[in-house]
Amino acid sequence: MNLSLKKHSVLPGFGPTLGYTVFYLSLIVLIPLSALIFKTAGLTWGEFVATVTAPRVVASYRVTFGAALLAAAVNAVFGVLVAWVLVRYRFPGKRLFDALVDLPFALPTAVAGITLATVYSGGGWIGRYLEPHGIKVAYTPLGILVAMVFIGLPFVVRTVQPVLEELDAEIEEAAACLGANRWQTFSRVLFPTLLPSLLTGFALAFARAVGEYGSIIFIAGNMPMVSEITPLLIITKLEQYDFAGATAIASVMLLASFIVLLTVNLLQKWSRRFAE
C-alpha cells in the first residue's frame, strides 16, 4: 500500500473555495464593519461616551430594542400558530395564505410603512375602530411595534414550518394514547423539538426589527424621546455631517445585536442538548 497517497476531500477545490469565501465575507462584511470601528475610533473616549449616552440617543435605544424584543416575542407565539395551521390543516385558499406569509419579504419597506400608516391612522380601515376606544396606533410607539411584527413574522414561520413538516403526526397520537392531554403533548413532546428553530426565528425577527427603517418611519411619528428609532437618529446625524457620531451610535447597536444573537445561539445549543 502506498502511504504517500493523499487523502482526497469529498468536495474538491476546498482551498480555492475557502479562499473565495473568506475574500467575499471580508469584502461584504468584515471591511465595512472595520470601517465603522475605525471611524468611531476618531472620537476620544469621553466624546464617545457623551455621544452614545445622550438622553435622546438612550431614548432611541429604549424604543428600538424594546419594541424589537417585544415584536420578536409576539412573532414567536403567532408564528408557531401560523406554521401549525399551514402544516397540519387543509382549507380553501391555503396556497394563497402560504404565499401571503412571504409578502413582507417582497414588499418594499416604504410601501409597507405607508400602507400600515394608512390602515392604522384615525381614518383608516382599522384605526377608525381602535381610536374611539383610546387605542392609537399610527404615529405612536405602538405603530413601531406593529411594523416590526409585520416584517418579522415570516422569519419565524419559515424556520418553524420545515420542522413541523418533519414531525410525524403519529407522535402526537402516541402521546395521546399514553394519556397525555393536548397541553402535555405540546409542552413535552412538540415544544422541545421546535425550540431550536423557534429561537432561530426569534433571533432573525429581532435582528430584522432592530435594523428596520423604511417601514417604521412612516408610522412611528418620529418624535424625539417618544417614538424615534435609532436608525432614524443615525440618518439624522449623517445629514448633519456628524459621521463620527453616527458611527458611534451604530457601533453600539452592532455590539448589542451581537450580544443578543450570541445569547440566542448559546440557547440553541442548550435546547438541542436538552432535546436529545
What's the mean per-residue pLDDT of the chain?
86
Q: Read off the C-alpha cell for 101.
A: 406569509
- Can you give the pLDDT at residue 86? 92
Helix axes 141-166, 94-101, angle to 10 degrees: 120
Q: Quickly state the pLDDT bin for 195 (edges 50, 70, 90).
A: confident
As a whole number of angstroms, the distance between CA 203 and CA 258 comes to 10
Contact 40, 248 (CB under 8 A): yes
Q: Read off the C-alpha cell for 54.
A: 445622550
| Structural domains for the chain | 45-275 (1.10.3720.10)
Predicted confidence (pLDDT) at residue 267 exceeds the cutoff of 80: no
Predicted confidence (pLDDT) at residue 38 exceeds the cutoff of 70: yes
Contact 94, 86 (CB under 8 A): yes
Report which of residues 52 and 39 the model is more confident about: 52
* Among the ranges given (50-54, 171-175, 217-221, 238-242), the one the predictor scored with the smallest mean pLDDT: 171-175
Helix axes 94-101, 55-88, angle to 10 degrees: 160
Predicted confidence (pLDDT) at residue 247 exceeds the cutoff of 50: yes
- Can you give the pLDDT at residue 1? 46
Q: Read off the C-alpha cell for 235.
A: 440618518
pTM (2 decimals)? 0.85
The DSSP annotation for 43-79 comes to S-HHHHHHHHTSHHHHHHHHHHHHHHHHHHHHHHHHH
- Can you give the pLDDT at residue 11? 57
The pLDDT tens digits of the residues spanning 250-263 come to: 999 888 888 887 88
Contact 208, 155 (CB under 8 A): yes
The pLDDT tens digits of the residues spanning 97-123 come to: 999 999 998 888 899 999 999 999 988
pLDDT (average), residues 134-145: 93
Contact 43, 51 (CB under 8 A): yes
Query: Which residue from 263, 275, 268 is spatially nearest to 159, judged by alpha carbons?
Result: 268
Contact 152, 71 (CB under 8 A): yes
